[in-house]
Amino acid sequence: MSKAANRADSEAVRQRVLCVDDDPQALENLRRQLERMHLVITAPDAAEGLRRLTEDRDVAAIISDMRMPGMDGATFLARTRSLAPNAGRILLADHADLQSAITAVNEAQILRFLSKPYQIGELFAAVEAAIEHYRRAGVENTGLRRTITAQIHSKDAVTGLASRSRFIETLEAVCAEADGKDRSSSFAVLMITIENLRDINDVQSLAAGDQVLQVLARRLREYCSGALSLARWGDDAFAVLLPGDVTDQAAVLGTAEALIEQFKVPISLQQTSYHARACIGIAGVPVHTGDARTAVKFADIAARQAKLQGGGMACLFRSDWASRVAYRHRLLVALREALESDALHLHYQPIIDLNHGTVTTLEALARWTHPSLGPIAPAQFISLAEESGEMPHLGQWILRRACRDARTLAGRYCARVAVNVSVQQLLHEGFLTHLDDALRIARLHPQELEIELTESVLASDAERSLALVRELKRRGVSVAIDDFGTGYSSLAYLQRFPADVIKVDRSFVTTLGQGGETIISAALSIGRSFGMKVVIEGVETEVARRQLSALGARLFQGYLFGKPMAPAAVDQWFINSPYAAAQSQVSAAEASPATTTAEPTAQRR
């Protein structure tokens, strides 16, 4: 066979495959199993899967797990039919869900289902069948079918607004008309995202969510009666094309902000009132670009910025945002690759008990050096992981690596290992399993482990969080509350929350003499009342240390005592520190257990 034929065959095989699963490990396994033969797109839930399809409909196969929060796999796959009508659909189902899977096959919602656990050969065969289905559907797309498809695609079935493809057609015509003319022939593209639509889908139903969309679509028609096109852009988004010059910022932002207010008017649903919260991004044609798809991309970027700035507002596109979004996308791809190749590392910073002159904690802080971009700030890649849904994956890596390092460091200092866990990671369905696996692989006893949780966990599904914390305690794992004083801390809740350690946020150290000492004194008092140890973070000067000691603090962390350092450097620091002699004299029974903390927030202490 010729090289050209081989190349053609290879290109034919590498079709796009969308994989959707709320379990990061299962999703990663699917990606790794399929990426050598296909172009794999992943999504952590059904809503994100639908959004990915609105961005790229040329998908040959769609694979979804059955059990996912918000929208189950069968419902998700049924809803993808309007976005990717030719794709072959595969449902991954547990034994308990087989009847639902069979029903979906019989109703032609899916092509195949696989019963978990399945063999890798079964997966490959199902994907190939889905791709063959996709190819046949393309070949058999007769004139009648094209006509029907065009009619379906011209209008959104839920809202009656224009479809995405029809909006693009209109915008392309407008761009052609505006090209080369002066700015008196200008237009504005508005991308509107309903930030809290997922809440009503989750709390009530998808049908209720559709009712909300229908009400908002009516308001959109009434308020934007002069629009050239109104469209349902995605699962929770609309697009509007208005005549007008965006260089008149006050006018265009005023229009967008008035529309946001229209959306806020309560919607009565099943004896409850729903308030839609929208953010709007705006781009101009030809002010920002003369290309239709680029104008949509710019408006979407502006909408994301509106959401990042707090939501419920409108933003006009700025040229520097495009490069920022491209950089973040490049960084996210690189972060995923770094996690796969084990290219991140942990540095360790000591916590000191000055009463005993001993090291009680070694806190692990995530670090990442990109091969071409250099060191990436922890706050940057941690926030990126949180926004992209990669936080559970990153958290698992940190947990495994910290436990592995602690096998050496903790043993050397008679230490416990404490791993700071994000709310996303804690509430993830497989958290306890991943934790048990990390302990088993590292051969670390649960009593040598401490989990640090930020105060936000107290406000995020409080009862479930409390149940998980109690399960940690039942296992023998110690629990700490990190960044204390910056979030939600009801004394009544703290009384129920079985924490062992409170870590006071560094911001109160920087405001000593300006009110910070009041919070620190309160934290020390709470610690004494509830039998919790209290660590003061961010101590960088001897003056601050003396002030804190006068308040009754004895556990400190900060640059005054030691900077974050690689595991190999910890020994040398310890040998040269004033704590080595005292540490060797204190028995494990008498000493505060030394701790190694892996902290996803990875901020300077």
pLDDT tens per residue across span 299-349: 998 998 888 888 889 999 988 887 777 788 888 889 999 998 999 999 988
Kindly report, residue by residue over 479-499, the tens digit of the pLDDT: 998 888 776 555 666 777 888
CA pair distance 477, 418, nearest whole angstrom? 9
For 366-426, the three-class secondary structure string (H helix, E strand, C coil) is EEEEECCCEEECHHHHHHHHHHHCCHHHHHHHHHHHHHHHHHHHHHHHCEEEEEEECHHHH
**For 18, left (φ over 0), alpha (ψ -120 to 50), or beta?**
beta
Kindly report, residue by residue over 87-107, the tens digit of the pLDDT: 999 988 876 676 677 766 666
Among the listed residues 373, 362, 454, the one whose alpha carbon sits nearest the alpha carbon of residue 408: 362
Dihedral sign for Cα atoms in the order 75, 80, 82, 86: negative
Gyration radius of the chain's alpha carbons: 28
Confidence of residue 550 (pLDDT cuts 50, 70, 90): very high
CA pair distance 351, 359, nearest whole angstrom? 6
Residue 478: pLDDT over 50: yes
Q: What is the pTM of this model?
A: 0.58
The two structure tokens encoding residue 176:
């052609």
What percent of the chain is predicted at pLDDT more than 70? 83
Kind of pairing between the strands at 415-421 and 594-599: parallel
C-beta neighbour count of 8 within 10 angstroms: 12
Kindly report, residue by residue over 193-245, the tens digit of the pLDDT: 988 887 766 666 677 788 888 999 999 988 888 888 899 988 889 999 988 87
H or E element in which residue 37 lies: none
Exposed (0-12), middle (13-18) or buried (19+): which is 200, by Cβ within 10 Å? buried
Give the mean model confidence (pLDDT) for residues 175-194: 74
Burial 137-167 (b: 16+ CB within 10 A, else e): eeeeeeeeeeeeeeeebeebebbebbbbebb
Can you give the pLDDT at residue 152? 46
Instruction: Answer whether 33's CB lies under 8 Å from 123's CB.
Output: yes
Can you give the pLDDT at residue 598? 52
Instruction: Answer whether 224's CB lies under 8 Å from 230's CB.
Output: yes
Name the phi and psi angles at 83, rounded to 5: -90, -40
CA pair distance 493, 323, nearest whole angstrom? 44
Can you give the pLDDT at residue 105? 66
Among the listed residues 398, 399, 404, the one whose alpha carbon sits nearest the alpha carbon of residue 381: 398
Q: Check residues 298 and 120 and name the one with the higher pLDDT.
A: 298
Burial 327-365 (b: 16+ CB within 10 A, else e): ebeebbebbbebbeeeebbbbbbbbbbeebbbbbbbbbb
- Residue 80 gets which letter from DSSP? G
Identify the residue whose tokens are 């088993």. Answer: 440
Identify the residue whose tokens are 């995605």. Answer: 234
Instruction: Answer whether 66's CB lies under 8 Å from 91's CB.
Output: yes
Q: What structural domains and CATH numbers belong to the chain?
A: 3-139 (3.40.50.2300), 154-317 (3.30.70.270), 340-408+417-569 (3.20.20.450)
Dihedral sign for Cα atoms in the order 334, 340, 342, 345: positive
